[in-house]
Structure 1
Amino acid sequence: MDLLLKIPKNQLFKNNIVISGSKSESNRLLILQQLYPELHIENVSNSDDSEHMQHALSSDSEIADIGHAGTAMRFLTAFFAAQEGVEKILQGSERMHNRPIKILVDALRSLGADITYIEKEGYPPLKIHGKKLEESKVVIDGNVSSQYISALLLIAASLPKGLEVELKGKITSIPYIKMTLSLLEQLGIETTFNGAFINIKPKHKIADKTVVVEADWSSASYFYSIVALSAVGTEITLSSYKKESLQGDSCLATIYEHFGVYTTFQNNTITLEKKQETNTVTLELNLVEAPDIAQTIAATCFGLGIACNLEGLHTLKIKETDRLEALKEELTKLGAIISVTNESLHLETSDKIHSDISIKTYNDHRMAMAFAPLALKTSIRILNAEVVTKSYKNFWIDLEKVGIHQEEIK
């Protein structure tokens, strides 16, 4: 499905949007619920990724196919490896079979896991023979996807002796590690994180606990972009959000002040309001702790004619696509002067935006959603628009509510 995006009279309506629970929180809690049935979860994400996770956890089939769901691949690899007597083939899409997983597999093998590669060394699909993992110490690079680390932390308390994780080198995406630890602590699991060492004490049963998943901050980023690209006075209210969030992407509230967008927290909602035009000339950010919002920020800067230098983006090379190269390709089509390295993006100031451009999405939900707000500045088509369901099923419906209409291109 390809969509042409339209803005009637170039005006946006004020509206209230309810966003599904965080995919990041939901997927962690779904694993924990399998280990601790006393856990009850409310407001689980309705994303494709979380649905793949739920299906894989509830199915008796020997084959678990998780499509494009990278989080599910990492978390389920660790989970099934620690389930004594379980045999699983864990597979996904073609892109998933080209996303590395060797670092996590090596770490699990050092704990005693029985995991073999079915096709290519270091990549899914995997054949997993679940075992009791008797070892209690593991070393893993800190400068890789935090999902590898969280995968180990999620199963840690269920292991006979708990787990000590030593992180080598610089540590990436610390907020996501802290999110995992905070969820463990909510279940009464004892954790410590000192320097390069994380310790999780064993716990094999918890008290009854209900956790309500906060709405997804990554999904909020697209509405921040819409407000930033709109006239002063535009406001959108989103729910359900917490001021003290576990999600690293909540830094949006501060970052978008550079664009004149201010956030008001009230009764589990956030109201985004464009209070002034931006006076930022060049935005300098290190997004090592929130890489998933880089595409949105880059597109916002381009739409406003602002230069930006975004650092700390090395994990974007191994996402659903190479997001840095994809951003360079599609923003260049719109008229941007942009360069990328393996870990950074550099966008020059520009005042021209090409019209009637078709944006490729590369099977990446965030490419579709990050570029959609640019419809406020130019006529734009989003190809393979249904890819948004990976994380945000109602995205196009919610864009209609704030005035961005869509017409399917036959």
Structure 2
Amino acid sequence: MKLHLTGPSEHLLTSNIQITGSKSESNRSLLLQALYPTISIQNLSNSDDARVMQKGLKISKGEVDIHHAGTAMRFLTGYFASQEGKDVILTGSKRMTERPVKVLVEALRSLGADIEYVNEEGYPPIKIKGKKLTENKVSLPANISSQYISSLLLIAPSLENGIEMELIGKITSVPYIKMTLSLLGQIGVASSFAGNTIKVSSKKQVAPVELVVESDWSSASYFYSIVALCEVGSKIELGSYKKDSLQGDSVLADIYKSFGVETSFQRNKVVLKKERIPKLTILECDLANAPDIAQTIAVTCLGLGMGCELTGLHTLKIKETDRLLAMHAELSKFGAKVQITDRSLLLEPSNGLKSEVAVDTYNDHRMAMAFAPLALKTSFVVNDAEVVSKSYPDFWEDLKKLGFRSKEL
């Protein structure tokens, strides 16, 4: 599906949007529920990734196809490896077979897991024969995707001896690790995170407990971008959010002050308001703990004519696409001057944007949604716009509520 996107005729916006649960929290909660059926979940994400996770957890034998869902690939690898009697081949889309899993597989093997590569060494598909894992000491590089680490932490309480994990080097994506440990705490699992060592205790049973999934902060980022690109006085309310969020992307509230957007919390809603015109020329930001909002921030800067230097982006190369290459290509279409390395993006300040270009999305939901707010400044086409269903199926409908106009081509 190709969408021709045009912004609202009125750039002083006021609206109220309800966003479903965080994909990150939902998939963690679903895995814990599979291990401990006494857990119930509220405000579950309606994303493709959460649906794939739910479906995969119900399979005991045969092929488990998780399509584009990287979180499901990492989490299900740990889950199936630790479940006696399960015998599966875990696979996905063509892009998924290009995304490395070796670090996780090696870590699980060190715990006693039985995992083989079906085709290429280090990449899916993988054949997993579930067994009882009795070893409990494991080490991983600290600068890898937090999903590898969380995959092990989530299964840890179900193991006979829990897990003692050593992270080697400088740790990235700390908020996502803390999110996992916080969820474990909510179901009564003891853990500690001191220096580069994480310990999770074993727990055979969990008392009945309800996990309430907070709405997705990554999804909120696109509305932060919209408010930043609107006139002073524009306001959008989003539900359901909390001030003491577990999600690393909640750092948006601080970052977007640089764009003149102030954040306040009212009951279970977060209120975004454009208070002033930004004065910064270049935004410098280390996103090692929140790399998923890099695309949104870069597009916001482009729309405001600002430059940015975003660092800490080394994990973006193994996402749904190589997001650094993709951003270089798509920002350039609008006339932007962009430089990238394997861990950073530098955008020069600019004046004016090219219009009627076609933004490619690379099977990456965040490419479509990050560029959408730019329709406030110029009209353009979004290719494969349906890719948003991976994390936010209602995205285009919610933009219509704000007055954005989209025409299917």
TM-score for the superposition, normalised by structure 1? 0.99
Name the structure 2 match of 1:205.
205
- The aligned runs of 1:31-110 (5 Å cut-off) are 31-110=31-110
Once the two structures are TM-superposed, the CA of residue 12 in structure 1 deviates from its matched residue by 5.1
CA contact (8 A) 1:167 1:197 kept: yes
- Kept in 2, the 8 Å contact 1:12–1:404? The answer is no
1:369 aligns with 2:374: no
Find the counterpart in structure 1 of residue 385 from structure 2.
Answer: 385
Structure 1 segments (4+ residues) deviating >2 Å: 7-13
The separation in 2 between residues aligned to 1:89 and 1:8, in whole angstroms, is: 47
**Residue 308 of structure 1: SS of its match in structure 2?**
strand
Structure 1 partner of 2:134: 134
Asked if the contact 1:13–1:401 (Cα under 8 Å) also holds between the matched residues in 2, the reply is no
Instruction: Specify the code of the residue in structure 1 equivalent to 2:108.
Output: L
Question: 1:212 Cα deviation (Å)?
Answer: 0.7
Where 1:62 maps in the other structure, the secondary structure is: strand
1:125 is matched with which residue? 125
Separation (CA, whole Å) in 2 of partners of 1:290 and 1:7? 27
State the shift of 1:286 in Å: 0.3
Question: Residue type matched to 2:30 in 1?
Answer: L
Question: In the alignment, is the contact (CA less than 8 A) between 1:12 and 1:403 conserved in 2?
Answer: no
Look up the match of 1:258.
258
2:313 maps to which residue? 313
**Which residues of structure 2 form unaligned runs of 5+?**
none
Deviations 1:335-391 (A, max 9, x none): 100100000000111012101110000000000000000000011110000000000
- Counterpart Cα distance in 2 of 1:212 and 1:394: 20
The letter of the residue matching 2:381 is R
Q: Cα distance, 1:13 vs. partner?
A: 3.8
Change in CA separation of 1:367 and 1:234 when aligned onto 2, cut-off 3 Å: same
SS at match of 1:349: coil
1-side partners of 2:131 and 2:195: how far apart? 30
1:8/1:195 CA distance change after superposition, 3 Å: closer
What are the superposed Cα offsets for residues 236-284 of structure 1, whole Å, 9 maximum, x if unpaired? 0000000000000000011000000001101110111101101111101
Aligned partner of residue 122 in structure 1, secondary structure = coil
Aligned to 1:159: 159
On the 8 A contact 2:9/2:403 being kept in 1, the answer is no
Distance 2:363 2:386 in 1: 9
**2:9 aligned counterpart, secondary structure:** helix
CA contact (8 A) 1:33 1:40 kept: yes
**Equivalent position of 1:271 in the other structure:** 271
TM-score (norm 2): 0.99
Secondary structure of the residue aligned to 1:9 is: coil
Q: Contact conserved, 1:11 with 1:403, CA < 8 A, in 2?
A: no
Q: Distance in 2 between matches of 1:348 and 1:318?
A: 25
The corresponding residue for 1:233 is 233
Cα offset, 1:61, TM superposition: 4.8
CA distances 1:123-149 after superposition (whole Å, capped 9, x unpaired): 000100001001010011111000000
SS in 1 for 2:171: coil
CA distance in 2 between partners of 1:12 and 1:207 (Å):
49
Bigger mean CA deviation after superposition, 257-266 or 4-13 = 4-13
TM-superposed deviation, 1:198: 0.2
What code does the residue aligned with 1:23 have?
K
The SS at the match of 2:184 is helix
Distance in 2 separating the partners of 1:226 and 1:348: 21
> What SS does the aligned partner of 1:342 have?
coil
Structure 2 matches for 1:346-357, cutoff 5 A? 346-357=346-357
Provide the aligned length of Structure 1 versus Structure 2.
Answer: 409
Unaligned runs of 5+ in 1: none
**Match in the other structure for 2:403:** 403
Contact kept, 8 Å, 1:4 with 1:380, in 2: the verdict is yes
Give the Cα separation in 2 of the matches to 1:19 and 1:354.
Answer: 31
Answering whether residue 330 of structure 2 is matched by residue 330 of structure 1, we say yes
